[in-house]
């Protein structure tokens, strides 16, 4: 491929996907291989037209001994000759993979992205340019198809995601090599790319060539087009699901709740995507989330099995509770905070603030009870220090207002129809060793205001984002 044709093709991809704007600072991932070398030269060729400021970075994985060091030196020399400021870092990927209990391939990928993203932030780069090309896209599609990916995975490698751009994504590997050969530009070859040890290599070296030869000579273009179509469809599904989340659910700290019947009104495709989006919001990513647990959760929702739950991934669970379907983060953490009463305090671990004040009891204070669940009125003289706001414990009991005998806090919350996924989020307020308030639900009968009460303590809770 002629140099001019190659550069025009790169510019076409750049314009189609809006990869660059004038004046951008671009960090180029430079491994020294053909793709990254061609990428750097292409960006140098359009540098003046777009007013780009270019940097180059190399991560030495220390996987191939002297060969890895030679790649580093090559990349450093290339950047120097092109007057591009160069950054480099060395990481023992094998050691890191063992520590993380991940594959070498996955660890290397995570470390590369992390290094590039942190460096981009440090040098204030607007874009991180990666050398993925059309053959990579085809290989990724087949690899994910073989592993059983859904539409999100089969969307393939995006041309643009955040700061990351891929200007070569529509160009074939053969075209890149033709360009480098015609321009007499040297590059390095990674010997590990030719070892049939990894699935990607097997696809590149065996599967794709056979499909090209026996079934479809344009299979790479076909798979790229298919990935593009699926990507647009997936984007549409995600947008609709996001809108449904905003309009059909309650989102609070650690849980996202749907009306079960409203959730059931949507097709399984949207239901599945909504669950995935919930996991992403609660966990931050979709790593390790597979098809089967999502399907189990949807099965519970379809059968309306109240009280049943299914683990989605790590600490993220789904549960049906009465007329609700919830996706939530289940964390067995015990929290406790000493309180100085009266007074006011914000408790970030609970997401609430508490205000306590002493009031003089009125003559008609007999059985004075607040109708506001976030307010408790107690007999101040029946209380004693220390005061603690804490998580409920196994065996916790108290005498709920209006009852003659004691009841376990666990049973009280069940009878109050508090969903199981929320029970550990309900704090209890203690005075000495006694529970005086299951916060937001019921005070203790023993500590209620009576006709003999002289001083009333008024306790009020509010969410930290409330202005009340």
Whether pLDDT at 468 is above 50: no
Nearest 5°: CA angle at 321, between 312 and 291? 20
Phi, psi of 407 (to 5 degrees): -145, 145
Q: In the prediction, which pLDDT does 1 show?
A: 75
Q: In the prediction, which pLDDT does 363 show?
A: 56
Q: In the prediction, which pLDDT does 368 show?
A: 66
| Cβ-count burial 133-170 (b if 16+ within 10 Å, e if not) | bbbbbbbbbbbbeeeebbeebbbbbbbbeebbbbbbbb
Token pair recorded at residue 204: 């590149």
Whole-number Å distance between alpha carbons of 25 and 451: 74
Q: In the prediction, which pLDDT does 191 show?
A: 83
333 Cβ neighbours under 8 A, 6+ residues apart? 391
Burial class of residue 364 in the structure, from the number of CB atoms within 10 Å of its CB (0-12 exposed, 13-18 middle, 19+ buried): exposed
Nearest 5°: CA angle at 349, between 345 and 352? 45
User: Sign of the C-alpha dihedral, residues 406, 410, 413, 417?
Assistant: negative
Q: Name the H helices within 215-370.
A: 219-248, 260-264, 268-283, 291-303
Whether pLDDT at 170 is above 80: yes
Whether pLDDT at 465 is above 70: no
* Ordered structural domains, the chain, with CATH: 3-147+157-220 (3.40.50.620), 253-324 (no CATH), 336-463 (3.50.40.10)
Whether pLDDT at 55 is above 50: yes
Whole-number Å distance between alpha carbons of 319 and 411: 19
Distances (CA, A) of 426 to 164, 188, 378: 42, 60, 19
Q: In the prediction, which pLDDT does 82 show?
A: 97
Q: In the prediction, which pLDDT does 366 show?
A: 54
Whether pLDDT at 160 is above 70: yes
Q: In the prediction, which pLDDT does 326 show?
A: 94
User: Per residue in 193-239, pLDDT tens?
Assistant: 887 778 999 999 999 999 999 999 999 999 999 999 999 999 999 99
Whole-number Å distance between alpha carbons of 228 and 196: 28
Strands 352-360, 455-463: pairing is antiparallel
79 Cβ neighbours under 8 A, 6+ residues apart? 30, 40, 56, 85, 86
Mean pLDDT of 139-145: 96
Our measurement of the distance from residue 362's CA atom to the centroid of its chain's CA atoms, rounded to an integer in Å, reads 53
Token pair recorded at residue 245: 């989340």
Q: In the prediction, which pLDDT does 362 show?
A: 72
DSSP reduced 3-state for 217 = coil
Distances (CA, A) of 8 to 45, 160, 165, 170, 171: 10, 19, 17, 12, 11
Q: How confident is the model at residue 467 (pLDDT cuts 50, 70, 90)?
A: very low
Whole-number Å distance between alpha carbons of 271 and 244: 10
Q: Provide the mean pLDDT of the chain.
A: 92
DSSP reduced 3-state for 25 = strand
Q: How confident is the model at residue 451 (pLDDT cuts 50, 70, 90)?
A: confident
Whole-number Å distance between alpha carbons of 107 and 223: 27
Q: How many contiguous H segments (helices) and E segments (strands) does the chain have? A: 17, 22
DSSP reduced 3-state for 328 = strand
Is 176 within 8 Å of 18 (Cβ atoms)? no
If residue 88 lies in a helix (H) or strand (E), which one and from where to where? strand 85-90
User: Per residue in 72-126, pLDDT tens?
Assistant: 999 999 999 999 999 999 999 999 999 988 888 899 999 999 999 999 999 999 9
Prediction pTM value = 0.79
269 cis-preceded (ω within 30 degrees of 0): no
User: Per residue in 268-310, pLDDT tens?
Assistant: 999 999 999 999 999 999 988 999 999 999 999 999 888 899 9
Q: Give the DSSP letter of residue 332.
A: -
DSSP reduced 3-state for 252 = strand
Whole-number Å distance between alpha carbons of 307 and 448: 33
Percent of the chain whose pLDDT exceeds 90: 78
User: Per residue in 374-414, pLDDT tens?
Assistant: 899 999 999 999 999 999 999 999 999 999 899 999 999 99
4 Cβ neighbours under 8 A, 6+ residues apart? none
Q: In the prediction, which pLDDT does 459 show?
A: 94
């Amino acid at each position: 491929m002629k140099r001019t044709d190659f550069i025009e093709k790169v510019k076409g991809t750049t314009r189609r996907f809006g990869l660059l704007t004038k004046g951008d600072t671009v960090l180029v991932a430079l491994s020294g291989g053909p793709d990254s070398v061609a990428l750097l030269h292409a960006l140098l060729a359009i540098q003046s037209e777009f007013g780009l400021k270019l940097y180059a970075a190399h991560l030495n994985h220390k996987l191939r001994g002297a060969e890895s060091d030679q790649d580093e030196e090559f990349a450093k020399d290339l950047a120097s000759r092109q007057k591009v400021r160069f950054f480099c870092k060395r990481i023992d990927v094998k050691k890191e993979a063992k520590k993380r209990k991940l594959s070498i391939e996955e660890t290397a990928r995570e470390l590369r992205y992390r290094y590039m993203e942190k460096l981009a932030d440090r040098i204030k780069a607007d874009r991180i340019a990666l050398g993925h090309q059309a053959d990579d896209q085809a290989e990724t599609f087949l690899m994910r198809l073989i592993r059983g990916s859904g539409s999100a995975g089969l969307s393939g490698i995006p041309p643009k995601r955040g700061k990351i751009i891929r200007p070569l994504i529509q160009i074939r590997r053969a075209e890149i090599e033709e360009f480098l050969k015609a321009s007499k530009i040297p590059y390095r070859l990674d010997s590990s790319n030719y070892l049939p040890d990894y699935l990607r290599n097997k696809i590149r070296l065996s599967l794709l060539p056979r499909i090209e030869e026996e079934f479809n000579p344009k299979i790479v273009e076909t798979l790229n087009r298919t990935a593009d179509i699926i990507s647009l469809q997936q984007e549409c599904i995600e947008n609709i699901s996001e809108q449904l989340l905003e309009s059909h659910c309650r989102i609070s700290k650690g849980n996202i709740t749907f009306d079960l019947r409203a959730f059931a009104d949507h097709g399984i495709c949207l239901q599945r995507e909504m669950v995935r989006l919930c996991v992403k919001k609660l966990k931050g990513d979709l790593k390790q989330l597979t098809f089967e647990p999502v399907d189990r959760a949807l099965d519970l929702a379809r059968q309306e099995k109240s009280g049943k739950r299914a683990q989605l991934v790590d600490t993220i669970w789904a549960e049906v509770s009465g007329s609700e379907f919830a996706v939530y983060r289940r964390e067995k953490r015990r929290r406790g905070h000493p309180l100085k009463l009266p007074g006011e305090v914000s408790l970030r671990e609970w997401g609430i603030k508490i205000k306590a004040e002493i009031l003089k009891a009125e003559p008609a204070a007999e059985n004075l009870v607040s109708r506001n669940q976030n307010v408790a009125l107690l007999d101040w003289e029946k209380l004693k220090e220390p005061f603690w706001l804490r998580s409920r414990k196994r065996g916790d009991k108290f005498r709920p207002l209006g009852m003659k005998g004691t009841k376990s806090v666990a049973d009280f919350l069940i009878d109050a129809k508090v969903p199981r996924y929320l029970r550990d989020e309900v704090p209890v307020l203690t005075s000495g060793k006694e529970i005086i308030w299951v916060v937001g639900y019921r005070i203790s009968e023993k500590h209620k205001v009576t006709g003999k009460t002289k001083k009333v303590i008024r306790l009020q809770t509010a969410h930290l984002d409330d202005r009340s």
